[in-house]
Structure 1
Amino acid sequence: MPSKDLPPETWKAWWVVGVIFPAHLVLGILSLPLLAYHLYHLSPWTWALVCVYLPFYLYPAEKRYPGWKGFDALWNFFDYESTCQSYFGEFGVHGGAKVDPDGQYFVAAHPHGTVIFQRTYWRSERLARFFRRPWRMLGASVLFRIPLVREMTLWFGAVDAGRSNCERLLRAGATVVVWPGGLDEANSVDEPRGVVRLRTRTGFIRLAVRSGVPVLPMFVFGELDAVEAVRLLPRPLASWLKRTLRASSNGFVGRYGTPVPRRVPFNLVIGDPIATAAAPSAAATDAEVARVHSLYRAELSRIYHEHRDAFGYGGRELVFANEDLAAG
């Protein structure tokens, strides 16, 4: 739905969703050169701030459980339940009839997008009713190296996406949320408008199989439209950063050519859980991973094609990376 057809968003929604959410990424990245500049010029206030902040920064909270998930007063104030509804016009959750609210899942959410505005769902009662167990998101290691971005990511409930960390979460009985597409699936400056390209992986599925945890696919309509990626560096340098640091160098723009997201409807669709079975050998594990991966891809395709017309994606084809167009 175009923004001109929506009623004006509330001032709180404008600040919370439109400004603060993308601003923590922009300000976090800008803080690095500013901090380096003031430290180089021996600013006493900067040195004092760094001395106070450094112990918190160096503590590896992203590799601990339960980590720093919390700050409930902040999320209660942000009230994504109403602010996202006001800002985006639609903020729906669909499906989930087969989800056991008390069960443990390895959630595979798509698409990754440039900013992952869909993280707000996980701080909303609209999704909380499906997941009564503790949950944690998985985030790229680089996010925990950038001031402000680090803190917001930890408070959201994210931890480092390393394998040992995932195993720790699964052993603790937590539901784990991953965006398997990662940087390969994030909004691309070269992606045709009529294509939704997903990148699926098997690493998280192997962990789910070894832990006996069902895989739960999700797709969020609207994520790819809130902002679009803008290349800030030459392609060779951007590719080097992506390969070496697993970091994106793209910027993003939305309304008025700024980082403020566009007012587009958001609709999250929960697929059916895919059960995993214990495997007695390495060969059997490989076979089980292949089976679950095939079902996971098929479920993603199903929920996309069943809902794309209703949620404005009717003319956009689903493509799995390195594969032909999905049937439908």
Structure 2
Amino acid sequence: MAIEFAPRSIPLERRLQTVAVIQWVYSFLALAQTCIILYFVLLFTRFWIISVVYGIWWFIDWDTPSQGGRRSPLLQKSVVWRYLRDYFPIKLVKTVDLDPRENYVFGFHPHGVLVAGAFTNFCTEATGFPELFPGVTPYLLMLPLWFRAPFFRDYIMSGGLIPSDRESASYLLKKKKSGNAIVIAVGGAPESLDARPGAFKLLLKDRKGFIKLAMQHGASLVPVFSFGENELFDQVDNPKGSFLRGVQEKLQKVMGVALPLFHARGVFQYSFGLLPYRRPIYTVVGKPIKVTENPTPTSEEIDKMHKIYIENLCELFEKHKTQYNVPADKHLTFI
């Protein structure tokens, strides 16, 4: 295979965009592990006091992630995220206003490999969420596992991330008229195993926990589709029933995280590597579906609302797909 090298004469702006993406990919794939190693290594150096003091603080601060976290507006406004946004680029598209006196459950689709659209739009201010939806505060849900990593937990909380468990989500939705928006990548880690260019397959058919959550708290459901999310990486073929897919699914059940074998481009060449392709992402926030509060919804009531949600998601996709480079004959499929 011939390697396509990047030209030497690249504008500084594009180089800074690449640096921003490198740190983002590293943060997603290896920063938690690095923080854990650093924590234990420091214990055996003259800087052991850092780990000891942090350990005490960690114990005191243990419940913070499940109680709304600790976001940092300074970090969310960082210029780094503007370079990350412009690398693809990523755009947040508003279709209707959201009432800041209401709470919301955003269903984000598709998960993609590294949920680039969800992170950039809802964990940073680079795409203008506060200006588009004034008074509404987004909280992206992430696997609880990552909030057990020292130092890393503080970093992800600063972006408005909270654990993806019922307790954490309910804590925010219980606050009536507060303008909180829980953002859930509904397909989760398993859906990332099907994330590849041209794929419109969503793991949603039996995903109803977020529907029940919204009904229990009377939070409006908001379908969100991120056009281009699956175009960022290629993935090694892993059809259902294959040996590779079987191994990936077993690891996902054991570890709680999926391990898609993805690849795209590198830093100095465009032929292989772990950096995403420079392809645009358009994250479209749909119209809220009004939900009546029901602390104990029945299975039939949940199924009915789930069906309404899927209909609204399909309508959102069909209305905008040709505008964002999706062929007219492409439709969503659900598994």
- Structure 1 position 310, deviation (Å): 2.1
Say yes or no: does 1:205 pair with 2:205.
no
Question: In the TM superposition, what is the alpha-carbon distance from 1:48 to its structure 2 partner?
Answer: 4.6
The residue that corresponds to 2:108 in the other structure is 109
Residue aligned with 1:239, SS? helix
Partner of 2:129: 127
Change (3 A) 1:62 1:247: farther
Contact 1:25 1:148 in 2 (8 A): no
Deviation at 1:241, TM superposition (A): 2.9
| CA deviation profile, 1:90-130 (whole Å, cap 9, x unmatched) | x3232422533443211111111221111111222522221
- Do the aligned partners of 2:264 and 2:273 also contact (CA within 8 Å) in 1? yes
- Whether 1:164 and 2:167 are equivalent positions in the alignment is yes
Cα offsets for 1:278-324 (capped at 9, x unmatched): 448x5x64333222211111111112122222212226442111xxx
What SS does the corresponding residue of 1:186 show, helix, strand or coil?
Answer: helix
User: Does the CA-based 8 Å contact 1:194-1:317 persist in structure 2?
Assistant: no
8 Å contact 2:196–2:235 — kept in the other structure? no
List gaps (5 residues or longer) in structure 1.
322-328
What are the within-5 Å matches in structure 2 for residues 210-249 of structure 1?
A: 210-229=216-235, 237-249=247-259
SS at match of 1:195: coil
* Other-structure match for 2:274: 259
Which 5+ residue runs of structure 2 have no aligned equivalent?
1-5, 238-242, 267-271
C-alpha displacement of 1:24:
1.0
* Inter-partner Cα distance in structure 1 for 2:188 and 2:64: 18
Q: CA deviation at 1:75?
A: 2.6
Counterpart position of 2:240? none
Corresponding residue for residue 305 of structure 1: 318
| CA 1:78–1:196: 2 relative to 1, 3 Å | same
SS at match of 1:255: coil
- The yes-or-no answer on 1:83 pairing with 2:66 is no
Q: Which letter does structure 1 place at the counterpart of 2:215?
A: V
- What is the SS of the residue equivalent to 2:102? coil
SS at match of 1:274: coil
> If the length of structure 2 is used for normalisation, what is the TM-score?
0.78
Q: 2: CA distance between counterparts of 1:169 and 1:133? A: 12
* 2:26 aligned partner: 23
Picking from 291, 298, 303, the partner of 2:304 is 291
Mapped contact 1:96–1:130 kept (Cα < 8 A): no
Whole-Å separation in 2 of the counterparts to 1:45 and 1:115? 37
SS of 1:44's partner is coil
What is aligned with 1:195?
199
Q: Distance in 1 between matches of 2:103 and 2:40?
A: 46
Residues 140 and 160 in structure 1, CA contact (< 8 A), matched pair in contact too: yes
Q: What is the CA distance between 1:15 and its match in structure 2?
A: 2.1
Partner of 2:99: 100
How many residues matched? 306
Contact 1:27–1:148 (Cα < 8 Å) also in 2: no
Q: Over the residues paired in the alignment, what is the CA RMSD in angstroms?
A: 3.2
Residue 61 of structure 1: CA displacement? Answer: 4.5
Residue 33 (structure 1) shift: 8.2
Tell me the SS of whatever aligns to 1:184.
Answer: helix
Q: CA deviation at 1:246?
A: 1.5
TM-score normalised over the length of structure 1? 0.80
CA distance in 1, matches of 2:159, 2:287: 25
Query: 2:148 aligned with 1:145, yes or no?
Result: yes
Question: In the alignment, is the contact (CA less than 8 A) between 2:228 and 2:280 conserved in 1?
Answer: yes
Q: Secondary structure at the match of 1:249?
A: coil
Q: Which amino acid aligns with 2:76?
A: W
Does the CA-based 8 Å contact 2:66-2:167 persist in structure 1? no
The answer to whether the 8 A contact 1:28-1:146 is kept is: no
* Aligned residue identity for 1:12: L
2:333 to 316, 319, 323: 319
Matched, 1:276 2:278: no
Aligned amino acid, residue 291 of structure 1: K
Amino acid at match of 1:272: K
